[in-house]
Amino acid sequence: PCAGPVESKNEAAMSELVPEPRQKPVVPMKPMGINANLLGYIGIDTIIEQMRKKTMKTGFDFNIMVVGQSGLGKSTLVNTLFKSQVSRKSSGWNREEKIPKTVEIKAIGHVIEEGGVKMKLTVIDTPGFGDQINNENCWEPIEKYINEQYEKFLKEEVNIARKKRIPDTRVHCCLYFISPTGHSLRPLDLEFMKHLSKVVNIIPVIAKADTMTLEEKIEFKQRVRKELEVNGIEFYPQKEFDEDLEDKTENDKIRQESMPFAVVGSDKEYQVNGKRVLGRKTPWGIIEVENLTHCEFALLRDFVIRTHLQDLKEVTHNIHYETYRAKRLNDNGGLPPMTAETEENHESNL
244-286 tens-digit pLDDT: 888 888 888 888 888 899 988 887 888 888 888 888 888 888 8
CATH number for 309: 3.40.50.300
Give me the pLDDT at residue 53, please. Answer: 82
The 10 Å Cβ neighbour count of residue 63 is 22
- Which of 4-13, 296-305, 333-342 comes out lowest in average pLDDT? 4-13
Is the pLDDT score of 14 beyond 60?
no
42-72 tens-digit pLDDT: 888 899 888 888 877 788 899 999 998 888 8
What mean pLDDT, rounded, does the chain reach?
Answer: 81
- Which of 32-46, 123-137, 166-180, 186-200 comes out lowest in average pLDDT? 32-46
Give me the pLDDT at residue 294, please. Answer: 85
pLDDT-derived band at 94, boundaries 50, 70, 90: low
Into how many domains does the chain fold?
A: 1
328 lies in a domain?
Answer: yes
128 lies in a domain?
Answer: yes
Give me the pLDDT at residue 323, please. Answer: 94
Q: How far is CA 341 from CA 145, 155, 334, 345, in A?
A: 20, 11, 19, 6
Is the pLDDT score of 6 beyond 80?
no
For residues 14 and 204, which has the higher predicted lDDT (pLDDT)?
204
Give me the pLDDT at residue 326, please. Answer: 93
218 lies in a domain?
Answer: yes
Q: How far apart are CA 205 and CA 197, in angstroms?
A: 14
224 lies in a domain?
Answer: yes
301-319 tens-digit pLDDT: 999 999 899 999 999 999 9
229 lies in a domain?
Answer: yes
How does DSSP classify residue 233? P
Question: Can the peptide bond before residue 31 be classed as cis, meaning omega within 30 degrees of 0?
Answer: no
Give me the pLDDT at residue 88, please. Answer: 59
Q: Which domain holds residue 219?
A: 61-332
Give me the pLDDT at residue 292, please. Answer: 84
Q: What is the pTM of this model?
A: 0.78
87 lies in a domain?
Answer: yes
In a 10 Å sphere around its CB, with 0-12 CB exposed, 13-18 middle and 19+ buried, how is residue 268 labelled? middle
Is the pLDDT score of 101 beyond 90?
no
In a 10 Å sphere around its CB, with 0-12 CB exposed, 13-18 middle and 19+ buried, how is residue 107 labelled? middle
Tell me the mean pLDDT in the region 201-208: 93
pLDDT-derived band at 203, boundaries 50, 70, 90: very high
In angstroms, what is the C-alpha Rg of the chain? 31
145 lies in a domain?
Answer: yes
45 lies in a domain?
Answer: no
DSSP string, 261-324: EE------EEEETTEEEEEEEETTEEEETT-TTT-SHHHHHIIIIIISHHHHHHHIIIIIIHHH
Per DSSP (E only), the strands in the chain are 60-67, 106-114, 117-125, 173-178, 202-206, 261-262, 269-272, 275-282, 285-288
Tell me the mean pLDDT in the region 160-185: 88
Ramachandran quadrant class, 249 (left: phi over 0; alpha: psi -120 to 50; beta: rest) = alpha
Q: Supply the angle between the helices 140-157 and 187-196 in degrees, to the nearest 10.
A: 10
